[in-house]
Structure formats: structure tokens, C-alpha cells
Structure 1
């Protein structure tokens, strides 16, 4: 019976760590895409403002269409751009001036997000270093002549310990991620 216990326990642990890796990759890709979209939007706003200064007629749909997306930063930028177009249209405020202010605000937000990412790099590195510690522990145990995998995967107590440790590590990673997202939520606006 205990021999059969090893495969499900190992399968659950591998599946959990694969899921965590996929979630981390997904978040990284979303952040990268978001920053790339914001950079494109800044360039489009800058080009539109320069075009207006050079005498081009304003096109009320060109820049806000570039801000399409589900990211909160882009949604806020889209709202600011729409407000700039409305102010210009209804109050006669020069659109180029408003767009330059929106661009400056977007650049300041981009710089702040860059600084926040630099500050969080140490915590993220610590997470990457701590994540493989259970595997290192298994390796050290094997190097010392013990068979930790046998104990963790093929005994009831070992399986309970392995699953509890996996759950606690996942909970810690998810909790830490939630704290980081809460701390950076204001920067994303």
C-alpha cells in the first residue's frame, strides 16, 4: 500500500510546482506586455502632440484607440486621453498642451513602475533562491546516504509532511505575491 502512495504524492507536488511556474510566467508576460503597450502609447501621444504643433488636424480617435486593452494602467491612460480630447473640444484648450501633460504623466508613471520593480528585485530574487530549497534538501539527504525521497513518498507520515510543506510553500508564495500586488496597485494607476 505505501509503495502506491508515492506516485500520487509526487504527482501532486510536481503539478503544484508546475502550476506556480506557469502563473509566474503568465504574470511576467502580462507585466512585460503592459509596459510595452504603455511605451507605445507614450510614443503615439508624443507623435500626435508634435503633429498638432506642426499644424495637423486633431483626430479624436487615433490616440485613444491605441490605449485599448484590459490593463489598469492603459484604462486610466485611455480615460485621461479622452478627457484631454473633451477639454480641448468643449473648452478650447489647445489639445497639444493637454497631450503633452498626459504624456508627462504617463512617463512619470512609467519611471515610478521602473523604480518599484528595481526595489522589488531583491524580494523576487529571494523567492527564486528559496523556491528550490526542498530539492536541495533532498539532494543533501541523498548525498549523506539517507533516502529522503523514499521516506517522503512511500510512508504515510512522509507523504503528509511533503504535502504540508508543499502547501505551506505555495501559500507563502501566493501570500507574498498578493502583498506585492497590493503594494504596487497604486503605482499601476
Structure 2
């Protein structure tokens, strides 16, 4: 049970990091497409289509589905720029430049937020590794900590209580980080 709780916390942590990384990669690819389209328009080329839709299928792949709200907001801004261009005749290059500057500003804010939240992530990692360090120190002193935790009633109660408190702290930290980053898109 204890191993499953720690494994679940590790899986959640890795999954969240992969989602953030995929979202940033997707936004970077969209920025490259917007920049290339804007450069082509400045050079006099006619737009081939929406850079947000280039190379994508009608159904998003799993990476896009898990990429989070960041990529969806970027895609919505590009769609809005194309609708404005088509409906009102606003020059597309101007709209794409504004979308690009907005997306770059969002990237800078998210990067700054990640730097500020790195202390919270480091604290959570240290708190997850402390039990392993405690078991190692106990074993080095010859006290047989695993046997005490798994074969005595008091040890089992301590192990379950410690795991529950760590899971609660982990979830609380994750919620605080999510609340801090929810509005930064």
C-alpha cells in the first residue's frame, strides 16, 4: 500500500511535467508557424491557410489533448485572428504580429512563473525523498527500520500516518501550484 501511494505520487509528478513540456512545445511550434506566415505576408506571399491548422488532423493526437489550456488558448487566438481578417478585412500580418507578441509575452510570464515555483517543486521533491533517507540512516545505524515499520503495530501505524500526511502535503502543494498557474495562459 505504501509503495502504491509513493508510486502514484511519482506518476502524477512525471505526468504533470510532461503535460507542461508538451504544451510549451506546441505553443513554440504555433509561434514558429505564425512567424513564418507573417514573414511570408510581409514578403508579399499569399497565405496558404491558417498556421494553427497546418499539418494537423481533424482529431487531435494524444499529445495535443494533454497539452493543456496553454495550447488551446494559443490556437483560439490564431482562429480569432483569421476570423477578424476574413470578416472585417483587417490586415492579416498585423493580426499575426499581435498574436505572436501576445504568445511570446505569455511564454515569458510562464517561464518566470516556473522559476518562482521551482522552490515549491524542490521542496515537494525533498519531502518525498525524506522517508527514504530516514530508512537509509536507520539501516546504517543498525536499527532495522523496515522490520520495525512493517512488523510492529506501532511501526505500521506510523508508516500509514506518514504516507497519508505526505500524500496530503503533496496534493496540497500541487493544488497551490495549479492555483498559481491557472490564470497564466
Same fold (TM over 0.5): yes
Query: What 5-or-longer segments of structure 2 have no aligned partner?
Result: none
Query: Could you tell me which residue of structure 2 aligns to residue 144 of structure 1?
Result: 141
Structure 1 residue aligned with 2:108: 111
Specify the alignment match of 2:51 in structure 1.
63
Matched residue SS, 2:156: helix
Q: 1:98 aligns with which of 95, 101, 105?
A: 95
CA RMSD of superposed structures (Å): 1.6
For the residue of structure 2 that corresponds to 1:64, the secondary structure is coil
TM score, norm. by length of structure 2: 0.88
1:107 Cα offset (Å): 0.3
Match of residue 49 from structure 1? 38
Shift of 1:137: 1.6
Query: Greater relative contact order: 1 or 2 (C-alpha under 8 angstroms, separation 6 or more)?
Result: 1
- Shift of the alpha carbon at 1:65? 1.2
Deviation at 1:132, TM superposition (A): 1.4
- Give 1:75 shift: 1.2
Deviation at 1:59, TM superposition (A): 3.1
Whole-Å Cα distance in 2 between the matches of residues 124 and 115 of structure 1?
14
Moved more, 99-108 or 48-57: 48-57
Aligned pairs for 1:73-88 (under 5 A) are 73-88=70-85
Encode CA deviations 1:42-82: one digit per residue, 9 max, x unaligned: 0100101111111121234x312158633211111121111
Q: How many residues get paired?
A: 176
1:163 is the counterpart of 2:151: no
Look up the SS of the partner of 1:55 in the other structure. coil
* 2:18 maps to which of 20, 24, 29: 29
Q: Structure 1, unaligned stretches of length 5 or more?
A: 1-11
For 1:137 and 1:79, the matched residues in 2 are separated by 49
Q: Which TM-score applies when normalising by structure 1? A: 0.87
**Partners in 2 of 1:130 and 1:16 — Cα distance?**
14
Question: How far apart are residue 38 of structure 1 and its match?
Answer: 0.6
